[in-house]
Chains A and B, each alone.
Chain A
Amino acid sequence: MGCAQTTAEPPFALTLRESNTERLYCLSGQAQHLGLMQGMTLSDARALRPDLITRPATPELDQQFLRALARWAGRYCPWVGVEGRDGLVLDVSGSTHLFGGESEMLADMRMRLTRAGIAARIGLADSRGAAWALAHFDEGVAAPGDPLPTLRPLPVAALRLDGPTCVALERLGLRTIGDLHDTPRAPLSRRFGNGVLMRLDQALGVQGEPLTPLPDPPRYGVRLTLPEPIGLSADVMAGLARLLDGLCDRLRAQDMGARVLQLTLRRVDQASQQVELRLARAMNDPAVILPLFERGVSAVEAGYGIDQLRLGAPRVEALPPAQIQSAIRQSEEEGVASLITKLGTRIGLENVQRFLPADSHIPERAHILAAAAFSEPAEKWPRPAALPPRPLRLFAPEPIGGRATGPGREPPPQFRWRGMRLERVHVEGPERLTPEWWLPSEAWQNGVRDYWRVETRQGRRLWMYHTPQNPGWFVQGEFA
């Protein structure tokens, strides 16, 4: 069912990379007829059928689609579960008569699926095991009460047994379910354990098997409707406090934390206003979240009054209860996170940043700036012992006049920088840095740089470089 259907002439298959090999993951009917099999390596399949068309499989999307299909299947019965990677299991007991009987229901199902372009195999029986066997090996409806006559001719693999067990059973001459059923049970369970007989009993309905329906996805939204419209910020905050309590209870019950909160205020004239709060980290404590809303709520235009509040959490993250390390540290982290959120509402959450070290010898690439809300601080700042001191400020290289002098091609003894006439007293260098050839950059077009630390008589300590391949002097940083 998860397989894309194709009506084109050449065989079609989806491939999936498993342990370094591309294998066929799902095949069209055409491809199956031509002798291709699931699990075959792609190169083998190509050797057999050079005209095979393949696309990479996306199991996550398949799962998403399967879940959508499960919701659709809710039209036939309330109990729908997912079976394996490409199946649905429906408990239709008591609902078939609504469609005029079992076979009519299957016909309706098949018709709708076909219209949607989905190829499906459907089996219906008293037990889950028998329905599985029918859906996978011989479509149809088993007679109510006794599925054995229908199941008899099916191979033992229809009992959901693993490969080695099937092979072992076939070696013993037990090829079909009928064979297995007619064999004395004691030797079977002595040889194969309880698994085989359990599957057989489950298929025949002797042993029950529960069906787990898909749980409803949790919804994080609460609403408050007011008999009289309100207009004061304090009133809105009071209403919001009630909503937050409800929402946070729900979040806490599922060990989740909200990352984005959306408050929708509906006014009497049906217009609505939204206040969005992006939190610096997942939170589910109403006392911490409430003050963060203050700025957003104060900016709301109440108009003729607000008569409905709705609070939703469109983005949630898992927030498992963590070991409390120390109360002080806990409250400190909480405080920093609240501060980041508060600043985020004013200047944007991505404008609160932190430094992360980066592995590069190019001074401007030796660190990166990451949004503090979406990154963890580095454990420790790496400090290579051999690295000469680096300036506190870096800026885009500013050219200065002057020519290299002396045997070591030292910086000019006097130069002008930012309108100041500076005189060098002491220099140290050069430190040659070569551009990273694997990352072309415009700033490094002039080739290698010889960096000098220059101390001026006027006190400024500058980081200058000379580009010998393309003579010129530049100031790129300041040490103080």
Chain B
Amino acid sequence: MSADFTAVYPLKRGRAHEVCGPGATYFAASCCNSSPKPSMWILPDWSHEALNPVGLAQYCDPTRILLAKAKTQVDLLAAAEEALRSGAMGLVICEIYEPLSLTHGRRLQLAAEAGRTTGLIVMPEGMGSNAAETRWHCTPLSGKAASGSAGNPLQSGPEKGLDSTRQRWDIIKNKSGTLASWVTDWDATSHRVIVVSKTGERSRAASAPLGLRADHG
């Protein structure tokens, strides 16, 4: 099964998407680039994992990000809906910490449609709702692990060093397409995400990240 990466990324505008996994922050940061409008990042105000704009600056322009901090999940979602519906933002990222009900997910979906704005819910694993357009799972890969799991040498030049941003992006829910997974990397010169290798065989590709996830607990 092969799928076209460009069909699903950059994320479809006017829809709400979901992302989970340890690489979700990077995924969200890489999405901020895709619109000329500013982005809004909504997060719980008690979260101790602060965003670092100096780090974000590698992937997007931190001066074009607005932060909204709310106390409860309800406030987070209400703020996200307001921001999606207003249409003033290009991307609205909302970090949640409780499972998203179908009603809430559907409301966000409608708001995204009304405001022609892309929504992205950053969530812990397994908390998504069925209303999402796509759901992504992002796992950072170490250079060696990536080549090991793919089973064949990578086409793109020499083994990248530590600054590698190599990740396995699995699309684990897709309303308008098939599930697939890619090994992606950040291309600093063209300032966008590129697919490093085509992991065509799903059976082999899926086994590696599953093993990793079990490791993380």
Contacts and interface: CB of A to CB of B under 8 A. Distances in A.
B136 to A, nearest CB: 13
A426 B142 contact: yes
B38 interface: yes
Contact of A459 (B64, B67, B70, B212): B212
A332 B88 contact: yes
A175 to B, nearest CB: 67
Interface string B38-73: 101000010011111111111001111111111100
Contacts of B66: 336, 340, 352-354, 372
B180 interface: no
A391 B55 contact: yes
B52 A367 contact: yes
Question: Which residue of A340, A387, A427 has the most chain B CB atoms within 10 A of its CB atom?
Answer: A340
Given A453-B162, A455-B143, A459-B139, A392 B88 contact: no
Interface string B156-171: 0000011111010000
Contacts of A364: 50
Contact of A393 (B51, B61, B75, B86): B51
Given A338-B88, A458-B212, A458-B216, A347 B52 contact: no
Nearest to A342: B82
Number of chain B interface residues as a range: 35 or more
Interface in A345-384: 346-347, 351-355, 357, 363-364, 366-367, 369, 372, 377-381, 383
Question: Which residue of A339, A340, A419, A478 has the most chain B CB atoms within 10 A of its CB atom?
Answer: A339
Contacts of B216: 420, 458
A394 B65 contact: no
B23 interface: yes
B67 A460 contact: no
Given A390-B55, A458-B216, A459-B139, A426 B82 contact: no
B217 A347 contact: no
Interface in B127-167: 138-145, 161-165, 167
A343 B162 contact: no
Interface string A133-155: 00000000000000000000000
A354 B40 CA distance: 9
A396 interface: yes
Contact of A381 (B22, B61, B138): B61
Contacts of A456: 142
A366 B54 contact: yes
Given A425-B145, A455-B162, A459-B139, 8 more contacts: A339-B88, A355-B63, A392-B51, A395-B48, A419-B217, A426-B162, A459-B141, A480-B138
